[in-house]
Structure 1
């Protein structure tokens, strides 16, 4: 750390205090750069301008919601009543989307994880499509005895649609950035 011993007081002489003399005009000198130096952009600067961490955070939150719905559904329903509970669809998709959101969030610190995040998001889309098919089969074979599980499966189907759209947007951005970086 630099240190200087300089006098910071304002010194006024008698001539300056009277104001009787005209002073010589001040000459202003400006520095002008002779060439512009471009800003140093990071490896994923254009991608980070789109803020994928926000979508990653939404993936984490929707994954937690899905995981919570799976716990409630597992506690209230028997295993044999639906494919949704039998295959623990909500638990699996919730955990995968939490992982995908965390990986999307840590891209700022570790840009080398971009291909990993792309693969994880594609995997989430595939698992979510399979889960939506299982939920659709359950909804097609549902009886009118109890309306509560039907609503919960419809809610999970809507959450899956939201999560798939988030992952699709992230996959588009990540693949576009991968193509731009490839020679």
Structure 2
């Protein structure tokens, strides 16, 4: 918060009295507030104080990371090597989380998007759960000849965990705001 310290006396009154030849003490006038008005809280004030845009930005970054890994898998694996590549799991989750992050970032400017953001984040959790199940099946029947792909699927599983955590926190905040 910005703060300034300066004299609020009315300047110039002393100089006028001295010029007129009077030796009376100067009249000092001070500013005094007459009423305190409460701050007006805008829509979603309590929610926006928690900075959901930060989590939305993190969702967008993890969505881009998922999309990037999806493109790497699509170019380096054949369709029959894994369910992860066959169902384009990374592409799907990446697009979902990119959209969820974008909508969450727009909440500050358009508060009416809170219900849409809640729905999209719940959908992201469902899609991420299905993707985690498909990745787990792939990891269970993995062949040892493609070790680098195994590491990338484990990384994608970790990214999905982060994405689910972010969406769960946002859904909790949105539901709390919806109740109040």
* TM-score of the two chains, using structure 2 as the length reference: 0.86
Residue 159 (structure 1) aligns with = 159
Deviation at 1:95, TM superposition (A): 0.2
Distance (Å, rounded) in 2 between the aligned partners of 1:135 and 1:32: 68
Deviation at 1:125, TM superposition (A): 0.5
Residue 5 (structure 1) aligns with = none
Deviation at 1:143, TM superposition (A): 1.3
Residue 29 (structure 2) aligns with = 29
Deviation at 1:84, TM superposition (A): 0.2
Query: How many residue pairs are counted as aligned between the two chains?
Result: 164
Residue 87 (structure 1) aligns with = 87
Residues 90 and 23 of structure 1: is their aligned pair in 2 closer, same or farther, counting only changes over 3 Å?
farther
Deviation at 1:113, TM superposition (A): 0.6
Q: Which digits, 9 at most, give the CA deviation of each residue in 1:128-150, with x for residues without a partner?
A: 01100100000000011120110
The ranges of structure 1 where at least 4 consecutive aligned residues each deviate by more than 2 angstroms after the TM superposition are: 21-35
Distance (Å, rounded) in 1 between the aligned partners of 2:69 and 2:77: 12
Deviation at 1:176, TM superposition (A): 0.3
Deviation at 1:22, TM superposition (A): 6.9
Residue 67 (structure 2) aligns with = 67
Distance (Å, rounded) in 1 between the aligned partners of 2:55 and 2:178: 18
Q: Which digits, 9 at most, give the CA deviation of each residue in 1:136-169, with x for residues without a partner?
A: 0000000111201100100100100111111111
Q: Which digits, 9 at most, give the CA deviation of each residue in 1:31-50, with x for residues without a partner?
A: 33333211111011111110
Residue 42 (structure 2) aligns with = 42
Residue 57 (structure 1) aligns with = 57
Distance (Å, rounded) in 2 between the aligned partners of 1:101 and 1:81: 31
Distance (Å, rounded) in 2 between the aligned partners of 1:60 and 1:26: 65
**Aligned residue runs from structure 1 range 127-146, under 5 A:** 127-146=127-146
Residue 3 (structure 1) aligns with = none
Deviation at 1:106, TM superposition (A): 0.4
* TM-score of the two chains, using structure 1 as the length reference: 0.85
Query: Could you say what the CA RMSD is over the residues aligned between the two structures, in angstroms?
Result: 1.6
State the secondary structure of the residue aligned to 2:80: helix
User: What are structure 1's unaligned runs of at least 5 residues?
Assistant: 1-11
